[in-house]
Each structure stands twice: as C-alpha cells, then as structure tokens.
Amino acid sequence: MTSYSIIGSGNVGTALARHFARSGISVRIANTRGPESIASLAAELGDKVVPVALQDALAADIVILAVPFLAHAAVGGALPNWSGKVVVDAMNTYGISPEELKGQASTDVVAAAFPGAKVVKTLNQLPAKLLAQNPAVNGGRRVMFVSSNDAGAEAAMAKLVADLGFAPVPLGKANEGGLLIGMGGPLILQNLIKLS
C-alpha cells in the first residue's frame, strides 16, 4: 500500500490534510516545529491524519511539499538520496525572481534538490482557500492538473488526486505542460470544473 506524507502545515498543507481525512486516506503530516504543533489539527481530523517528526514523514512513498518555495531545499537535504520516492511540488514561486530560478522551471529547481526522486507538479494551481473547499461542485469535480517527466509518477498522482475527489488532468512533461501551471502560466489560479 502506498504511503503518503505532507510536509508543511500552513494553509495548503492543512487543506490537503482535510482532503485526505475526508477521503479516508491515511497521511502523515510534518513541519519544522514538530508534531506537537499540529496535534490539534490531527485531533480535529481524526486518525487518518498522523502528525510525525519531519524525518518520519520522509519515509513515505509519496512526499507532498506544501512549504514556502525556498524551504524545499532544506527538505531535500534531509535525505542523501530520494530514489524510489515521488516528490510532489505543490508549491508556487510567489515573490521569487526569475534570477533566483536561474532561468529554470520551478519544478526543475525542485528536482535538483531531491536527487533520484520522481517529481510531480500538482496541487498548486488553486489558491489555498479554494483548494480547501470540497472538490465536488455543481455536479462535477474541480480540475487538478498533474505534470511530471515520469509517466508512472504522473499516473500515481493522478490516481491520488482522483481519490481526493478532484478531476485529474494530466499535462505531460514538467518542462512542457508543467510550465502551464507554474507562476505566470496560463492555467495557474484557474478554477475549472469537469462535469460528470
């Protein structure tokens, strides 16, 4: 059985934890302040959301990054090798200059910090308040775009996105479709509904 973790307990991490709980999918959640800082959230959401230390969260098969963009490098440095893991870039580069990205797509920058990982860009296109809402809307499901250079990782995340109640729309490779959901891309902040 695939294991999941969310790194970050801010607005996005909390919204995602709520979706896991609502969907009955177990997830570990961690931040840099320690599990006691998210114990009340876990108590509210039930036993499917388990607060753990950061190092314990990194043991998951699929690790979702819901931290401020510049914090990803510290998370990546917590393991020497990420082979066999899927790392989900659910971050956006608000306030990050193109110079800081050195002309690269943000997901490429993330991939460099997680050697060996299969990186997927998803769960980032909606503002946190909208992300937190029930994805079932007006007889349809809120669209969530998914992009990765690894087809297997993209498929695994598309399945999880669907299991969380969203309508996954694969975009293909991160340096192609993934650019559409990066900051400044035409699909960022788009609230689309796929009708049943």
What does the pLDDT read at residue 110?
Answer: 96
CA 142 to chain CA centroid, Å, is 16
What does the pLDDT read at residue 21?
Answer: 98
Q: What percent of the chain stands above pLDDT 90?
A: 87
pLDDT above 80 (res 98): no
What does the pLDDT read at residue 26?
Answer: 98
Q: All domains of the chain, ordered by start, with CATH?
A: 4-195 (3.40.50.720)
What mean pLDDT do residues 120-129 have?
96
What does the pLDDT read at residue 38?
Answer: 96
What does the pLDDT read at residue 137?
Answer: 94
The string of pLDDT tens digits covering residues 34-73 is 999 999 999 999 999 999 999 999 999 999 999 999 999 9
Following DSSP, what letter does each residue of 14-52 receive, concatenated?
Answer: HHHHHHHHHHT--EEEE-TT-GGGGHHHHHHH-TTEEE-
